Amino acid sequence: MFNREIFATRLKALRETNGLSTQKLATALGLKSKGGITQFEKAMTSPSADTLVAMSNYFNVSLDYLAGLSDKPERK
């Protein structure tokens, strides 16, 4: 099951580790505004499947890691 709290924590950590502002990440993912990223990071909303896949690809981590189903960020 998708864990919104874990996802929020991991997304923020990935963004900050990569030195990205919420606006830069939103732009890179094709989102309309940085507000979506902020809402994801505050666990207010969950991303669509397309956005989740885009995040996984952008940060080169597994979907299971982002969703909180695995503690291993590596893709298989």
What's 61's domain CATH number? 1.10.260.40
pTM: 0.94
Is 14 part of a structural domain of the chain? yes
Tokens standing for residue 56: 């996984």
Domain residues for 56? 4-67
Is 73 part of a structural domain of the chain? no
Spatial contact of 22 and 34, defined as CB atoms under 8 Å apart: yes
Is 48 part of a structural domain of the chain? yes
Question: SS3 sequence, 1-23?
Answer: CCCHHHHHHHHHHHHHHCCCCHH
- Please give the tally of structural domains in the chain: 1
The tens place of each residue's pLDDT in the chain, 76 residues long, gives 889 999 999 999 999 999 999 999 999 999 999 999 999 999 999 999 999 999 999 999 999 999 999 999 998 7
Is 75 part of a structural domain of the chain? no
Is 76 part of a structural domain of the chain? no
